[in-house]
C-alpha cells in the first residue's frame, strides 16, 4: 500500500479513536498500554554487577547448525511444511514479506514509513504509532525458519531462495557496518519505543544459521561488524537501549540479541559477546517504563511470591537472557533470581507442557480450559528450556522440551501444515474466533486456524517455521568427554572427535515408539562416551549394552566405537495419571499426553488466492465430552507404532475406561493431543 494512503488511514483512525474497534481483541490494549508516567530506576538494586565475576561452566555445548539433520517422520513433516505448508508459502500469503524491503530500500525514518500491516485494524493508540519497526519480526523470524528448513531438508529451490535473502541483507550493510531497519536520522537515537535491537536479532539469527550451513566467512564478518556498531552505540560507554520515554513490545524483544551473542561466542570464543549479553540484561533490569513487557527484570524476580503478569512471549524468551547472565557471571543474586523464576514458572504450566498466555499471563495460574497458550509463547519457552538444559545439564528441562514440542506445539498445527492456531487451550471445545469462559464469550481473532493470522499479527506463523528446525538442533549436545543424546527423535548427528569424523543416527519413531537404536558411522575406531537421558516418565531402560547409570539422570557408555555399531535402548513407560491445577487429571504415557478427540466440522471464513490456503473455524459435532470423568481405578491398553512415516498417520492410541453421562462407564480410545484439533485433555477424577 502506498505510504500516502497509509498516512491518510492513520490520520482518519486517530481522529476516530474511541469509535473504532481494533482487530487485536477486546483485552489487548488494556494490557499493552501499562506505561508509567515516570521511568523506574533500579540502579541501586543492581550494584552486585560490579563484583568480580566467577563464571559457571556449562554442562554441555550446542553443536553448530548443520551438524544435526532430521530423519524419519520429522524430516517428512518439515518437507511437508516447506513444500506444501505455510513455511514455504507464507511469503506468498502475506504480501508484507516480499513487498517490504525494510532492511534495505524501505528503511524507517519516521511515521511516514508505516509498514504493510496485513488485516490489522488500527485505532490510533500510542502502541500502534510505535510499530514502524513491524515486519522485522514477521520477516526476520520467517527468514530464520525458512533458511533452516531449506538446508535441513536439502531443498535446492529453497536453498537458492535462501541465498537471495542473505545476499540482499549483505548488500544493505553500510560502510560503517550498520545492518538494520532505520535510516541514519533514527539509528540508536530513539527517545521512545522502537525495534532497533529486535530487528537486528531476527536478521542476525538468520545470518548466523546461514553461515554455519555454508561456512561463508563474509556472512560471519558482516554480523560481527554490525554487532560492533551496536555494542558501541548501545553499551557501557553509549546509551542504555532501555532508557526510554515509553516502551512497547519491540524494545524489550530486543533483549533477545542475547541469542545472537551466545551464538557468536560459540562460533568465535570471543568473550566480548558474553559480556555484552550480560550488559543487556543489566541494562534491561535497570529501567522500567511499561510493566507489561518485563517480568524477567531482576527487581521483579526478587518479588518471589508474586505471579508473572506480563506479555507471555517476552516472559518466556527473556528466561534465556537471565540464565546467560547468571552463568557468565556466577553472581549468587542472579542464582536466586533464577530459582525465583522457576518457582513463578510452575504456576504457568499446562498439561500439554505449554506455558499459558493468550498474549498475557495476567497473574493467572494455568487452567486447561480458561488459559490458552500462544504459539510464539510455546516456541520461546521450549527454546529457553534448551538453553537451560545446555547450561545446567538438568534432565528435567529435556523432559519439558519434549513434552511441550510433541503435545502443545504439534497440537496447534493441522494435519497438513497449512494452518496453525494462534492461541489454543489444552481443553479446546470450539475454535470460533471467540474466547469462552464460564458461559461468557468475547471476540478474539486468535481462536481459529490460519496460515497468516493477519488480524492480530503475523508472528505465530513465521515462528512455526522455527519449531522443528530449532528442536532438532537441541536434541544432541557436546559433552566434555563425548556426545549426549539429550532428547529423542529421528535425527542424524555428524561431528568430529579428536579429528575423526563421527556420525550417530537416532533410528526411531519416538515418541510414537518406545525404542531408539543408535547407529554409529566412523572412518576409523574412535573412543568417546555416549550419554543418553533417562526421561522422568520412564520406569527403566532396557538395552543390549552395558550402560552406567549416573546420578544426574544420564546413562553413559564409554568405549572404543567401531564403524557400523548399533546400540538399542527400550524405554519402559507406563500410563501416568497426572494432576492439573484445576483439580482434574490427565493421562500421559512417555512424552505424549492423551486426549479425547472431539469430532468437528470446519467453516471456511477466508480464502487465499495462493493455492488452497484458507482461514477456518472448527465446531464440535457432539457434546458428549462435557460430562466425561476419569476413574482412579481405570485400566489402560495402549498401542505404539514403530513404522509410521507420519506423526498424524501413526496408529498410536490409549484405551481407558471413561465415565460418561449418567455415570455409565465406557472404554474410549484416546489419541496423542498433538494430533488433535478439538479435544478434551483433563477430566474430573472419580
Q: What are the two backbone dihedrals, phi and then psi, of residue 275, each rounded to the nearest 5 degrees?
A: -65, -35
User: In which band, very low, low, confident or very high, does the pLDDT at 65 lie, cut at 50, 70 and 90?
Assistant: very high
> Can you point out the beta strands (E) in 214-363?
287-290
Question: DSSP secondary-structure letter at 408?
Answer: I
Mean pLDDT along residues 157-169 = 98
CA pair distance 281, 273, nearest whole angstrom:
13
pLDDT, position 122: 64
| 3-class secondary structure per residue, 74-92 | HHHHHHHHHHCCHHHHHHH
User: In which band, very low, low, confident or very high, does the pLDDT at 458 lie, cut at 50, 70 and 90?
Assistant: very high
- What would the pLDDT profile of 130-144 be if each residue is shown by its tens digit? 778 889 999 999 999
CA pair distance 571, 534, nearest whole angstrom:
8
Secondary structure of residue 130 in the 3-state scheme:
coil
Q: What are the two backbone dihedrals, phi and then psi, of residue 467, each rounded to the nearest 5 degrees?
A: -70, -80
CA pair distance 669, 655, nearest whole angstrom:
4
- Name the CATH code of domain 476-573 (choices 1.20.58, 2.40.160, 2.60.420, 2.60.40): 2.60.420
Are 442 and 475 spatial neighbours (Cβ–Cβ below 8 Å)? no
pLDDT, position 16: 36
- What would the pLDDT profile of 333-355 be if each residue is shown by its tens digit? 999 999 999 999 999 999 999 99
User: In which band, very low, low, confident or very high, does the pLDDT at 483 lie, cut at 50, 70 and 90?
Assistant: very high
User: In which band, very low, low, confident or very high, does the pLDDT at 634 lie, cut at 50, 70 and 90?
Assistant: confident
pLDDT of residue 662 exceeding 70:
no
Helix/strand/coil percentages in the chain, nearest 5: 40, 25, 40
Please state which of the ranges 108-112, 118-122, 150-154, 297-301 shows the lowest mean pLDDT.
Answer: 118-122
Helix (H) or strand (E) holding 471: helix 467-474
Mean pLDDT along residues 107-114 = 82
Q: Describe the crossing of helices 312-329 and 375-392 by its angle, rounded to 10 degrees.
A: 10
pLDDT, position 2: 34
- What would the pLDDT profile of 218-237 be if each residue is shown by its tens digit? 999 999 999 999 999 999 99
pLDDT of residue 3 exceeding 60:
no
CA pair distance 136, 645, nearest whole angstrom:
36
pLDDT, position 387: 98
The contacts found for 178-182 with CB under 8 angstroms, 24 or more apart, are 178/226, 178/229, 179/103, 179/203, 179/204, 179/222, 179/223, 179/225, 179/226, 180/103, 180/107, 180/226, 181/102, 181/103, 181/107, 181/108, 181/133, 181/136, 182/107, 182/108, 182/109
Look at residues 542, 269, 553 and name the one whose alpha carbon lies nearest to residue 389: 553
User: In which band, very low, low, confident or very high, does the pLDDT at 21 lie, cut at 50, 70 and 90?
Assistant: low
pLDDT of residue 173 exceeding 90:
yes
Burial profile 576-605: b = 16 or more Cβ within 10 angstroms, e = fewer: ebeebbbebbbbbbbbbbbbbbbebeeeee
Name the β-bridge partners of 629.
Answer: 659
- What would the pLDDT profile of 283-325 be if each residue is shown by its tens digit? 999 998 888 899 999 999 999 899 999 999 999 999 999 999 9
pLDDT, position 30: 63
pLDDT of residue 331 exceeding 60:
yes
pLDDT of residue 642 exceeding 60:
yes
Highest mean pLDDT, choosing among 389-398, 429-438, 641-650:
389-398
Beta strands 526-533 and 482-485, pairing class: parallel
CA pair distance 283, 668, nearest whole angstrom:
54
pLDDT of residue 648 exceeding 60:
yes
Cα–Cα distances (Å) from 408 to 74, 420, 594, 651, in that order, read 16, 11, 11, 19
CA pair distance 332, 538, nearest whole angstrom:
34
Are 458 and 116 spatial neighbours (Cβ–Cβ below 8 Å)? no
The pTM for the full model equals 0.95
Look at residues 682, 473, 458 and name the one whose alpha carbon lies nearest to residue 583: 682
User: In which band, very low, low, confident or very high, does the pLDDT at 7 lie, cut at 50, 70 and 90?
Assistant: very low
pLDDT, position 13: 34
User: In which band, very low, low, confident or very high, does the pLDDT at 121 lie, cut at 50, 70 and 90?
Assistant: low
Are 257 and 201 spatial neighbours (Cβ–Cβ below 8 Å)? yes
Residue 343 exposed, middle or buried by CB count within 10 Å (0-12, 13-18, 19+) = exposed
pLDDT of residue 660 exceeding 80:
no
User: In which band, very low, low, confident or very high, does the pLDDT at 4 lie, cut at 50, 70 and 90?
Assistant: very low
What percent of the chain stands above pLDDT 90? 81
Question: DSSP secondary-structure letter at 373?
Answer: E
pLDDT, position 628: 83
CA pair distance 646, 72, nearest whole angstrom:
8
Mean pLDDT of all residues in the chain?
Answer: 92
| HSE toward the beta carbon, residue 470, CA cutoff 13 A | 25
All structural domains of the chain with their residue ranges: 476-573, 576-680
What percent of the chain stands above pLDDT 70? 92
- The two counts, helices (H) then strands (E), for the chain are 20, 30
* Chain position carrying cell 524491503: 101
Look at residues 106, 163, 133, 213 and name the one whose alpha carbon lies nearest to residue 457: 133
Amino acid at each position: 500500500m502506498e505510504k500516502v494512503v497509509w498516512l491518510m488511514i492513520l490520520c482518519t483512525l486517530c481522529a476516530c479513536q474511541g469509535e473504532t474497534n481494533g482487530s487485536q481483541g477486546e483485552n489487548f490494549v488494556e494490557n499493552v498500554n501499562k506505561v508509567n508516567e515516570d521511568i523506574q530506576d533500579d540502579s541501586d538494586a543492581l550494584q552486585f554487577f560490579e563484583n568480580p565475576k566467577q563464571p559457571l561452566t556449562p554442562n554441555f555445548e550446542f553443536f553448530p547448525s548443520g551438524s544435526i539433520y532430521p530423519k524419519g517422520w520429522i524430516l517428512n513433516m518439515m518437507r511437508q511444511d516447506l513444500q506444501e505448508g505455510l513455511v514455504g508459502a507464507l511469503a506468498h500469503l502475506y504480501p508484507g514479506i516480499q513487498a517490504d524491503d525494510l532492511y534495505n530500500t524501505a528503511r524507517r525514518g519516521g511515521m511516514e514509513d508505516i509498514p504493510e500491516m496485513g488485516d490489522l485494524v488500527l485505532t490510533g493508540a500510542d502502541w500502534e504509532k510505535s510499530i514502524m519497526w513491524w515486519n522485522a519480526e514477521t520477516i526476520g523470524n520467517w527468514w530464520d525458519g525458512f533458511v533452516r528448513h531449506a538446508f535441513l531438508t536439502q531443498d535446492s529451490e529453497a536453498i537458492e531462495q535462501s541465498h537471495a535473502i542473505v545476499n540482499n541483507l549483505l548488500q544493505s550493510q553500510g560502510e560503517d557496518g550498520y545492518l538494520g531497519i532505520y535510516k541514519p536520522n533514527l539509528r540508536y537515537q530513539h527517545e521512545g519505543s522502537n525495534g532497533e535491537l529486535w530487528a537486528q536479532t531476527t536478521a542476525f539469527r538468520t545470518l548466523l544459521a546461514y553461515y554455519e550451513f555454508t561456512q561463508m566467512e563474509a556472512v560471519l564478518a558482516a554480523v560481527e561488524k554490525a554487532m560492533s556498531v551496536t555494542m558501541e552505540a548501545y553499551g557501557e560507554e553509549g546509551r542504555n537501549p532501555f532508557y526510554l520515554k515509553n516502551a512497547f513490545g519491540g524494545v524489550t524483544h530486543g533483549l533477545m540479541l542475547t541469542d545472537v551473542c551466545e551464538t557468536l561466542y560459540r562460533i568465535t570464543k570471543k568473550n566480548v559477546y558474553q559480556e555484552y549479553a550480560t550488559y543487556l540484561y543489566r541494562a534491561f533490569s535497570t529501567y522500567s517504563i511499561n510493566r507489561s513487557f518485563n517480568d524477567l527484570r531482576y527487581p521483579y524476580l526478587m518479588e518471589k511470591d508474586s505471579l508473572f503478569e506480563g506479555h507471555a512471549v517476552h516472559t518466556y524468551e527473556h528466561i534465556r537472557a537471565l540464565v546467560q547472565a547468571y552463568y557468565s557471571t556466577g553472581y549468587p543474586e542472579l542464582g536466586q533470581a533464577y530459582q525465583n523464576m522457576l518457582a513463578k514458572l510452575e504456576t504457568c504450566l499446562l498439561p500439554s507442557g505449554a506455558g499459558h498466555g493468550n498474549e498475557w499471563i495476567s497473574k493467572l495460574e494455568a487452567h486447561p480450559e480458561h488459559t490458552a497458550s500462544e504459539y510464539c509463547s510455546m516456541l520461546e519457552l521450549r527454546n529457553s528450556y534448551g538453553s537451560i538444559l545446555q547450561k545446567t545439564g538438568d534432565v528435567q528441562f529435556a523432559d519439558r522440551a519434549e513434552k511441550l514440542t510433541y503435545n502443545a506445539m504439534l497440537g496447534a498445527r493441522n494435519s497438513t501444515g497449512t494452518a496453525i492456531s494462534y492461541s489454543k487451550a489444552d481443553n479446546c471445545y470450539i475454535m470460533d474466533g471467540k474466547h469462552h469462559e464460564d458461559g461468557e464469550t468475547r471476540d478474539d481473532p486468535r481462536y481459529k486456524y490460519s496460515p497468516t493470522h493477519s488480524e492480530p499479527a503475523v508472528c505465530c506463523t513465521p515462528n512455526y517455521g522455527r519449531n522443528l528446525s530449532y528442536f532438532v538442533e537441541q536434541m544432541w549436545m557436546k559433552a566434555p568427554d563425548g556426545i549426549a543424546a539429550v532428547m529423542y527423535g529421528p535425527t542424524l548427528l555428524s561431528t568430529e572427535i579428536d579429528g575423526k569424523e563421527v556420525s550417530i543416527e537416532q533410528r526411531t519413531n519416538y515418541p510414537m515408539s518406545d525404542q531408539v537404536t543408535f547407529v554409529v558411522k566412523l572412518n576409523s575406531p574412535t573412543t568417546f562416551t555416549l550419554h543418553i537421558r533417562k526421561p522422568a516418565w520412564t520406569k527403566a531402560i532396557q538395552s543390549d549394552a552395558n550402560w552406567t547409570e549416573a546420578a544426574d539422570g544420564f546413562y553413559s557408555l564409554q568405549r572404543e566405537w567401531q564403524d557400523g555399531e548399533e546400540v538399542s535402548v527400550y524405554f519402559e513407560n507406563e500410563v501416568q495419571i497426572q494432576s492439573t491445577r484445576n483439580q482434574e487429571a490427565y493421562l500421559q504415557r512417555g512424552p505424549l499426553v492423551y486426549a479425547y478427540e472431539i469430532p468437528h466440522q470446519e467453516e471456511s471464513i477466508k480464502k487465499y488466492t495462493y493455492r488452497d490456503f484458507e482461514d477456518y473455524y472448527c465446531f464440535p459435532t457432539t457434546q458428549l465430552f462435557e460430562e466425561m470423568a476419569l476413574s482412579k481405578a481405570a485400566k489402560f491398553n495402549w498401542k505404539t507404532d514403530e513404522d509410521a512415516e507420519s506423526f498424524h498417520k501413526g496408529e498410536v492410541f490409549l484405551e481407558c475406561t471413561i465415565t460418561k453421562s449418567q455415570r455409565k462407564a465406557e472404554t474410549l480410545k484416546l489419541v496423542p493431543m498433538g494430533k488433535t484439533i478439538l479435544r478434551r485433555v483433563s477430566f474430573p477424577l472419580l
